[in-house]
């Protein structure tokens, strides 16, 4: 099944508990700490464009890349409504192409966990490094093995809302979290349309992430627990990482 197809239309509604503004404030803080107060920023796995909108409001020139045409359709609707000049590209993060380099790349809300093989993760990191300005920043998060294996694995999440209801069935095996999502969306005539999607995600250990960054030619700068902002430990479910490009010479 294609992910984020019919689900795209209810994505923002179901993800209304995600602290996008808080995450964006953290991103802006890291950018400014490193002297990046404007310029081009790439959002990998940008989804419906929420973070692109927030960073555009903060003065950054945004490029959004996503593999879902339906998610980008909604992102473009937000762009038109908000009047922001954001470039959206329908591309896979494992093979994306840009016309030039950018000052920073961000990738949040566990988009990297959709890369199911370490080779795919490494290729994504190599591309990020290639398209970063000399010394440019890579800011991203990832869900840990602990989260998929010990917290949400083998659980069922169900919720009834006014506009839609959903059942989120998780199972964990061989390092992969398999989420079978069923959404019942209320139609104008009062009946419900049923949509089903399957989402596969791999949890990563911090050591795997650091090794991939090193192989891709980037410098690991630091990591923090996404919820507490403190040092990550074995109970961390999502980890926020700062990395830096190295090796290029400024022209």
- The encoded tokens of residue 109 equal 């809300």
The helix or strand, by DSSP H or E, that contains position 177, with its residue range, turns out to be strand 176-186
What is the distance between the alpha carbons of residues 241 and 224, in angstroms, rounded to a whole number? 7
186-242 pLDDT tens trace: 777 777 788 888 889 999 999 999 999 999 999 999 999 999 999 999 999 999 999
Q: Which of 121, 43, 147, 28 is nearest to 89 (CA)?
A: 43
Measured distance CA(210)–CA(243) in Å, rounded: 9
DSSP 200: E
Domains of the chain, first to last:
8-143+204-245 (3.40.50.150), 147-202 (2.20.25.110)
Residues 6+ away with beta carbon under 8 Å from 162? 186
Q: Are 55 and 27 in contact (CB under 8 A)?
A: yes
DSSP classification of residue 175? T
Half-sphere exposure (CA, 13 Å, Cβ side) for 84?
A: 25
Q: What's the pLDDT tens digit per position in 30-68?
A: 999 999 999 999 999 999 999 999 999 999 999 999 999
**Pairwise CA distance, residues 31 & 23, whole Å:** 12
pLDDT digits (tens, 9 = 90+) for 90-119: 999 999 999 999 999 999 999 999 999 999
pTM reported for the whole predicted model: 0.93
What is the DSSP track for 33-68? HTT-SSEEEEEET-TTSHHHHHHHHTTEEEEEEES-
Taking alpha carbons only, the member of 34, 53, 92 closest to residue 243 is: 34
Q: Give 210's contacts (C-beta < 8 A, 6+ positions apart).
A: 220
Q: Are 240 and 26 in contact (CB under 8 A)?
A: yes
Give the pLDDT confidence of 121-158 residue by residue, as tens digits: 999 999 999 999 999 999 999 999 999 999 999 999 88
């Amino acid at each position: 099944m294609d992910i984020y197809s019919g689900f795209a239309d209810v994505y923002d509604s179901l993800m209304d508990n995600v602290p996008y503004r808080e995450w964006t404030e953290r991103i802006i803080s890291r950018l400014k700490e490193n002297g990046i107060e404007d310029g081009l920023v790439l959002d990998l796995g940008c989804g419906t464009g929420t973070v692109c909108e927030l960073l555009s409001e903060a003065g950054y020139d945004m490029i959004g890349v996503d593999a879902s045409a339906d998610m980008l359709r909604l992102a473009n609707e937000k762009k038109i409504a908000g009047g922001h000049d954001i470039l959206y590209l329908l591309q896979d993060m494992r093979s994306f192409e840009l016309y030039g380099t950018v000052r920073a790349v961000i990738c949040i809300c566990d988009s990297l966990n959709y890369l199911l093989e370490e080779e795919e993760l490494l290729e994504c990191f190599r591309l990020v490094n290639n398209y970063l300005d000399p010394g440019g920043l890579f800011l991203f998060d990832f869900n840990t093995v602990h989260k998929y294996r010990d917290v949400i694995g083998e659980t069922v999440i169900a919720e009834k809302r006014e506009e839609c209801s959903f059942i989120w069935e998780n199972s964990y095996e061989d390092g992969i979290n398999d989420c079978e999502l069923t959404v019942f969306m209320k139609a104008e005539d009062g009946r419900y349309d049923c949509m089903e999607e399957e989402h596969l995600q791999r949890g990563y250990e911090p050591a795997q992430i650091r090794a991939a960054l090193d192989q891709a030619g980037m410098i690991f700068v630091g990591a923090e627990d996404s919820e507490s902002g403190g040092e990550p430990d074995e109970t961390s479910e999502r980890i926020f990482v700062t990395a830096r490009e190295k090796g290029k010479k400024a022209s």
